[in-house]
Structure 1
Amino acid sequence: MSETPIYNPEGLERLPLHLFSEKAYLDYSMYVILDRALPHVADGLKPVQRRILYAMSELGLSAAAKFKKSARTVGDVLGKFHPHGDTACYEAMVLMAQAFSYRYPLVDGQGNWGSPDDPKSFAAMRYTEARLAPYAETLLGEVAQGTVDWQPNFDGTLEEPKLLPARLPNLLLNGATGIAVGMATDIPSHNLREVARACIHLLRHPDADIDALMRHVPGPDFPTAAEIITPASELARMYQTGYGSVRQRARYEMEEGDIVITALPYQVSGNRIMEQVAAQMQARKLPMIEDLRDESDHACPTRLVIVPRSNRVDLARLMSHLFATTDLEKSYRVNMNMIALDGRPRVMNLREILSQWLGYRTATVRRRLQHRLDKVLERLHLLEGLLIAFLNIDEVIRIIRTEDEPKPVLMQRFGLSEAQAEYVLNTRLRQLARLEEMKIRAEQAELAAERDTLQQTLGDEGRLRDLIIEEIERDADKYGDERRSPLTERPAALALDDTELAPSEPMTVVLSDKGWVRAAKGHDIDPAGLSYKSGDGFLAAARVRSNQPVVFLDSSGRSYSLQTHTLPSARGQGEPLTGRLDPPKGAAFRAVLGETEPGCRWLLASDAGYGFVCPFQALLAKPKGGKSVLTLPEGARVLPPVLLPGSPLDRVAAVTSSGHLLVFPIGELPELNRGKGNKIIGIPAARAKAREELMLAITIVPDGGSLLLTSGKRTLTLKPADLDRYQGERGRRGAMLPRGFQHVDALSG
């Protein structure tokens, strides 16, 4: 099918559907982009905002006027300039009146205009009243001074300004957000005085780069007093590219041990924070918080009090967790997309925005001065004709009385222009009294001086620039204020993990022969005295804290770790570890280990006579699969791990099934994270391979301590002097134990 329009005899245009759809969608897209969603760099307003402000000025709602019902304003806007929904129009008006939404509000509202906790809680337009805020004068003050282009309204009965003659870069001051078709905009607000200084600097130094401008505009300035914690390098990148993000964090202070939050991030409500913190408290994720209160009132708009459970709580760490898990810290996207002076949407950096606005402002001031100059010249021209008539008043009166058409006669007789003659004819006789000559000449002199000044300013770029700078400084002094959002670089917020969130209580983790586990409160319980399932019994126990991990070692040499506070209570008989862990087929759990103190170490060994010292942290592993720690020779079994007391003078004692005992310094064993380890006691290779001789037990003898051997019902205590007979180098055969103790059941140092 042809892609060119086809005309039929009825005069109807026919188009292929894909062409019609494409054109219709593009037209709609451009309408949304240009006439609804994106602000203009000149005045920083969207069309609906511009029309609301202009309609209010036409209604006479200046900052000094009486308030009028908002419904009256909305009705004028809809009926004259913006034929869309009244709800959307009113919401746009409300946004410009909310001091917590706009850095410099444009509308002064009376009544319920919403609150920071619920910005949408404003009353209906029939209840609220409004007028223009003082700051709106910077946008509307020069509308009637020939500074703007006009366009017909939607029905062609009225004219409205295409743009407002902004005396300040309102786009940066109040920011903007909007979603168009295929593009969006998110421009943060800034401080008026800072932006004014940057504009003045750029006027005086047209080649200034963004780094120079950032010395005046270091970052955004939100309506709230929360801290901006974005690093300066990221802010510089944002201003360089027009893209980025800004992160704002709540401010707090300490009062008698309590945390008092005094400022929240932009568009964050105190109610929302209370809900988020309370939800974590109910889920038992914040055991260190005892109470939470909202003490906000008119005197203190933001005052949220967090009461810690004790003075031992790390408050800085707690707040870091809350920053990471609640809206006490919030990130805002920055996308400085706007309609440029050429009418096209694009993303601009800081320098481009200021340059474009200064170009618009310069053209606006030039138009204002030229408009005033035209008025002055016109008035001087009329005064010149009036003075001629005054000096020839008798002749003028005669001509008016005797001539049917006095205007052409006056023009011919006195050389007046048509405008001068018309003005003379419309002048009252009382204005031609004697004293009027002095007034006319005084006004002529005053206007002539103003004319000269205007012509000089328009003809001199330097004078024009100085005038713009003077006006910016005057408005900055009148409407500017101090920065609200301090710029402070802070470390990244980190959420507390499960270990830190759990209360620190003494716990005893009990492991049974069949691999069932449970945790009892306290360190003074008797694990062997607990009840066990039929055919099961006590195997091992570890005394730890409830907020610490516990490690399980299986018969294949793999280690696994679980958080103690997640284990079942000892009130019952526990649960099988295989429900949480996934050991190799046929492997059984043989030991449970805990971190008795930071940096503790354990001696791991196999009955093949090999072993090594392993830090507790190296034993931690993912819960399900664990990790291989102790490599076992073929057929070897894991011996119960032994906790090292910590002294370098401690000695290792190892005994074999043949009755050989070897004692050597602990320093001779290597410290490894995993592996087979080194030979601890010498066992002939053939006997070890045939499993005819094994290392039965191993223990640590503290420096100056004794060794207790158990064989059946008999015990033997070897004092330090006795142990010297069994002292040797690691890996040696050792010495034979006395008769009756050549089959040792247990060793203990």
Structure 2
Amino acid sequence: LRQLARLEEMAIETEFKALSEELAGLKAMIASPTKQSKLISVGLDDVRKALISPRRTTIGQPVDVSGLAPVEAFIPREAITVILSERGWIRAAKGKVDDPSELKFKEGDQLGWLVPAFTTDRILIAATDGRVFTVPADKLASGRGHGEPLRLMIDLEEGAGIVGVLAHQPGAKVLVASKAGYGFVAPEDDLIAQKRGGKQVLNGEMLALLRVTGDHVATIGDNIKALIFPLSELPEMGRGKGVKLQAFKQGGLADVAVFDAETGPEWVDGGGRRRNWPDWKDWLGKRAAAGRQGPRGLRKFR
């Protein structure tokens, strides 16, 4: 037992000696900034050796991607027809839809917009809250079913409705009109939005987003008074309120159209039949005028 006790005593003395030396070293290091810097340097060297090696990724020079093909170049260009129902279900049918009456919708729903496009196009969707959204055509659901809710693709405000759907054409221009009777011409390229929230284009309630395909504008108010004036009287701008299209004592703008003077405008009667407007020049006037009573049956252009 005395021998075992002696062995334990020797182990304790050895451990005490080692701890005393370590304590003396720590006190010396605390008292010496030079020794502290040397210890830190040794630690950093150990970290560098552990983390940095030829096998790990290095930071190089950025690659010039200007000459690379865009992502759209890998999308097959195929003709489609974008179908948007009045309740906001969107899909894309292959090719051209010859007979819209054969399209199927959910119970209580019906066709809202039918837009020819290509899978490589970007679809512009205008809402009543003045925003324009951009949806890639190749992301649309197949036309075999009912499609999917448009709200899953864009952040459309609750209560906002759709007033226009276009397949984007680079370099083209559109007429933006508000329910209050104001409007302007905007380049389509300025309407492209990169986010789900769209791009605020109009300050006010939007009534229509129409591609500019002519040189005159025809408007009709809730009071059934019509006015026609040259498109050149409208300013071109990217966003804003615009200028007054037609003056109203009561109500606002009911509909608007852009047409070519050589062919004249058309309008839709109560039965859905399209009618020519041969004497349209009798309604020709200055922008922001009150206009005059429209032809019998005229309520809208589209």
User: Normalised by the shorter chain, which TM-score bucket?
Assistant: 0.7 to 0.9
Q: TM-score, normalised by structure 1?
A: 0.33
AA in 2 matched with 1:588: G
Are 2:249 and 1:695 equivalent residues in the alignment?
Answer: no
Q: Which deviations, in whole Å up to 9, do the C-alpha atoms of 1:484-518 show, x marking residues without a partner?
A: xxxxxxx5456655433322222221111101111
Query: 153, 159, 162: which is aligned to 1:589?
Result: 162
Cα RMSD after superposing both structures: 3.6
AA in 2 matched with 1:641: L
* Contact in 2 for aligned 1:539/1:591 (Cα 8 Å): no
Secondary structure in 1 matching 2:72:
helix
Are 2:181 and 1:609 equivalent residues in the alignment?
Answer: yes
Match of 2:135 in 1: 562
Aligned residues: 275
As a proportion of its length, which structure holds more strand? 2
> Within 5 A, what are the aligned runs for 1:500-515?
500-515=73-88
Match of 1:747 in 2: 301
Are 2:254 and 1:669 equivalent residues in the alignment?
Answer: no
> Within 5 A, what are the aligned runs for 1:195-214?
none
As a proportion of its length, which structure holds more helix? 1
* Contact in 2 for aligned 1:561/1:620 (Cα 8 Å): yes
Q: 1:666 to 1:555 in 2, by over 3 A?
A: same
Match of 1:682 in 2: 247
Secondary structure in 2 matching 1:641:
strand
Secondary structure in 2 matching 1:673:
coil
Query: 11, 14, 18: which is aligned to 2:21?
Result: 14
Q: 1:528 to 1:676 in 2, by over 3 A?
A: farther
Counterpart-to-counterpart distance in 2, 1:621 and 1:246:
31
Q: 1:26 to 1:526 in 2, by over 3 A?
A: same
Q: In the TM superposition, what is the alpha-carbon distance from 1:671 to its structure 2 partner?
A: 1.4
Are 2:153 and 1:580 equivalent residues in the alignment?
Answer: yes
* Contact in 1 for aligned 2:125/2:134 (Cα 8 Å): yes
Q: In the TM superposition, what is the alpha-carbon distance from 1:555 to its structure 2 partner?
A: 2.0
Secondary structure in 2 matching 1:578:
helix
AA in 2 matched with 1:677: G
* Contact in 1 for aligned 2:85/2:111 (Cα 8 Å): yes
Match of 1:728 in 2: 285
Are 2:91 and 1:537 equivalent residues in the alignment?
Answer: no
Q: In the TM superposition, what is the alpha-carbon distance from 1:546 to its structure 2 partner?
A: 0.9
Match of 2:264 in 1: 706
Counterpart-to-counterpart distance in 2, 1:180 and 1:718:
85
**Identity level (%):** 28
AA in 2 matched with 1:642: L
Q: Which deviations, in whole Å up to 9, do the C-alpha atoms of 1:155-200 show, x marking residues without a partner?
A: xxxxxxxxxxxxxxxxxxxxxxxx64798799xxxxxxxxxxxxxx
The runs of 5 or more residues in structure 1 that have no matched partner are 1-7, 33-178, 187-243, 248-323, 325-490, 688-692
Q: In the TM superposition, what is the alpha-carbon distance from 1:562 to its structure 2 partner?
A: 1.4
Q: 1:25 to 1:675 in 2, by over 3 A?
A: closer
Secondary structure in 2 matching 1:15:
helix
* Contact in 2 for aligned 1:655/1:696 (Cα 8 Å): yes
Secondary structure in 1 matching 2:276:
strand
AA in 2 matched with 1:732: A
> Within 5 A, what are the aligned runs for 1:271-670?
491-492=64-65, 496-595=69-168, 597-632=169-204, 638-645=206-213, 650-670=215-235
Q: 1:528 to 1:594 in 2, by over 3 A?
A: farther
Q: 1:246 to 1:555 in 2, by over 3 A?
A: closer
Counterpart-to-counterpart distance in 1, 2:140 and 2:202:
25
Counterpart-to-counterpart distance in 2, 1:246 and 1:630:
43
Secondary structure in 2 matching 1:565:
helix
AA in 1 matched with 2:151: T
Counterpart-to-counterpart distance in 2, 1:526 and 1:498:
34
* Contact in 2 for aligned 1:542/1:594 (Cα 8 Å): yes
Q: In the TM superposition, what is the alpha-carbon distance from 1:630 to its structure 2 partner?
A: 1.8
* Contact in 2 for aligned 1:510/1:517 (Cα 8 Å): yes
AA in 2 matched with 1:734: G
> Within 5 A, what are the aligned runs for 1:151-300?
180=49, 245=60
Q: In the TM superposition, what is the alpha-carbon distance from 1:723 to its structure 2 partner?
A: 2.2
Q: 1:745 to 1:28 in 2, by over 3 A?
A: closer
Secondary structure in 2 matching 1:617:
helix
Q: 1:601 to 1:14 in 2, by over 3 A?
A: same
Q: 1:549 to 1:660 in 2, by over 3 A?
A: same
- Pair member with larger Rg: 1
Counterpart-to-counterpart distance in 1, 2:110 and 2:44:
76
* Contact in 2 for aligned 1:552/1:592 (Cα 8 Å): yes
Counterpart-to-counterpart distance in 1, 2:43 and 2:131:
65
* Contact in 2 for aligned 1:511/1:591 (Cα 8 Å): no
Q: 1:494 to 1:697 in 2, by over 3 A?
A: same
The runs of 5 or more residues in structure 2 that have no matched partner are 1-13, 30-34
Match of 1:717 in 2: 276
Counterpart-to-counterpart distance in 2, 1:711 and 1:574:
31
Q: TM-score, normalised by structure 2?
A: 0.77
Match of 1:297 in 2: none
Q: In the TM superposition, what is the alpha-carbon distance from 1:572 to its structure 2 partner?
A: 0.8
Counterpart-to-counterpart distance in 1, 2:172 and 2:40:
70
Counterpart-to-counterpart distance in 2, 1:619 and 1:245:
37
Counterpart-to-counterpart distance in 1, 2:144 and 2:290:
47
* Contact in 1 for aligned 2:163/2:209 (Cα 8 Å): no
Q: Which deviations, in whole Å up to 9, do the C-alpha atoms of 1:203-234 show, x marking residues without a partner?
A: xxxxxxxxxxxxxxxxxxxxxxxxxxxxxxxx
AA in 2 matched with 1:711: D
Q: 1:723 to 1:25 in 2, by over 3 A?
A: closer
Secondary structure in 1 matching 2:301:
strand
AA in 2 matched with 1:727: L
Q: Which deviations, in whole Å up to 9, do the C-alpha atoms of 1:643-696 show, x marking residues without a partner?
A: 112x5xx11111223332211111111112112211111212xx1xxxxx3322
Counterpart-to-counterpart distance in 2, 1:535 and 1:495:
48
Q: In the TM superposition, what is the alpha-carbon distance from 1:539 to its structure 2 partner?
A: 0.7
Counterpart-to-counterpart distance in 2, 1:643 and 1:500:
26
Q: Which deviations, in whole Å up to 9, do the C-alpha atoms of 1:71-113 show, x marking residues without a partner?
A: xxxxxxxxxxxxxxxxxxxxxxxxxxxxxxxxxxxxxxxxxxx
Q: Which deviations, in whole Å up to 9, do the C-alpha atoms of 1:598-656 show, x marking residues without a partner?
A: 21111121232111112222222234222321222xxxx533322112x5xx1111122
Q: 1:727 to 1:521 in 2, by over 3 A?
A: same
Q: 1:182 to 1:621 in 2, by over 3 A?
A: closer
